Structure 1
Amino acid sequence: MRLGEYLRKDFVLEDLAAGGKPDVLAELVAPVAAAFPDVDPAKALRVLMDRENLGTTGIGDGVAIPHGKMDSLKEIVIVAGRSRAGIDFESLDHKPCRIFFLVLAPEHVAGMHLRILAQISRLLSDEGFRRSFLDAADHEALWKVLSSHA
């Protein structure tokens, strides 16, 4: 299993505009809702906020991995986003998040969902990858960073 199997170029957001947690989650969900008409963006946002209320997915080092499960999805989707300014995501280290990986999965794939979260965590623990992700000049460069590492 490779992350690249779940990444799509149109699910890479190079410059998130949101200023807070609910807004960035809505911005990350938008391309999923556009690509999958069965996905209700309001429900997806509720699922993600319910997960955030259990504990932040802002894991530190400027990284957040919001995730949740939705019965309306038929496949796992990953959205990668970057905030140049940084967003207060109530991160464990109290620092703004600049790198976001949203993972939405169907209800029935719990094991795969957890493996993908672990793989994303490993990738994001690499300081060189994080630096390349943040320094990518544009959408195409960001996609190249993602597709070459995932």
Structure 2
Amino acid sequence: MKLSSIINKDCSKAAVLFNSKKRILEYISELAHEQLPNLNQHDILSALMAREKLGSTGIGKGIALPHGRIIGLEVVTALLLVNQQGVEFDAIDNRPVDIFLALIVPDGDNEQHLKTLSSIAQQLNNKEFCKQLRNASNDEELYAIIASAD
């Protein structure tokens, strides 16, 4: 799967600065609402928070894949944020997280959702790719890295 097929330029944010898990998830829900204005921002945040209550989406190495299922959504929407510093996120390796690739997915399509998560996790397992993401100085550069990785 090509990341650029589910992330657009407006959903790529480099060098953001947040200091908590909750604030990151709030910002993700704000951005998602801007992209999906027919969805309620609170519903998006609730879906993200509900998933985190099941267990952290921090997959280790400074990376988290927060995601939430939304009833009535028809397409997967992804958002990429690179925070200037690591944030405590209860990741499986207990390391702070600075790369957040969030997914807002249709409720019910579990198989496609798992394939998407697996594909993204595989791409984020590339150390050089993650280094490039972390070094992006602005949103345009961050999106260019995503597009060139495809």
TM-score range, shorter chain: over 0.9
Stretches (4+) displaced over 3 A: none
Report how many aligned residue pairs link the two structures: 150
Q: RMSD over aligned Cα, in angstroms?
A: 1.3
| Distance in 1 between residues matched to 2:73 and 2:137, nearest whole Å | 32
Paired residue secondary structure (1:14): strand
Q: Deviation at 1:117?
A: 0.4
Amino acid at match of 1:28: I
Corresponding residue for 1:54? 54
Residues 10-43 of structure 1 deviation map (CA, whole Å, 9 limit, x = unaligned):
0011123321111101111212101222211111
Corresponding residue for 1:99? 99
Corresponding residue for 1:145? 145
Identity of aligned residues (%): 27
Q: Which runs of 5+ in 1 are unaligned?
A: none
| Distance in 2 between residues matched to 1:131 and 1:15, nearest whole Å | 13
Corresponding residue for 1:73? 73
Corresponding residue for 1:135? 135
Greater RCO, CA 8 A, separation 6+: 2
Corresponding residue for 1:89? 89
| Distance in 2 between residues matched to 1:125 and 1:69, nearest whole Å | 24
- What TM-score do the two structures reach when normalised by structure 2? 0.94
Paired residue secondary structure (1:45): helix
Amino acid at match of 1:140: E
- What TM-score do the two structures reach when normalised by structure 1? 0.94
Which shifted more, 123-132 or 110-119?
Answer: 110-119
| Distance in 1 between residues matched to 2:117 and 2:2, nearest whole Å | 12
Q: Which runs of 5+ in 2 are unaligned?
A: none
Corresponding residue for 2:20? 20
| Distance in 2 between residues matched to 1:3 and 1:134, nearest whole Å | 16
Q: Deviation at 1:49?
A: 1.0
Residues 34-76 of structure 1 deviation map (CA, whole Å, 9 limit, x = unaligned):
1222211111111111111111001110000001110132210
Corresponding residue for 1:33? 33
Q: Is the 8 A contact 1:52 1:66 kept in 2?
A: yes
Whether 1:44 aligns to 2:44 is yes
| Distance in 2 between residues matched to 1:143 and 1:119, nearest whole Å | 18
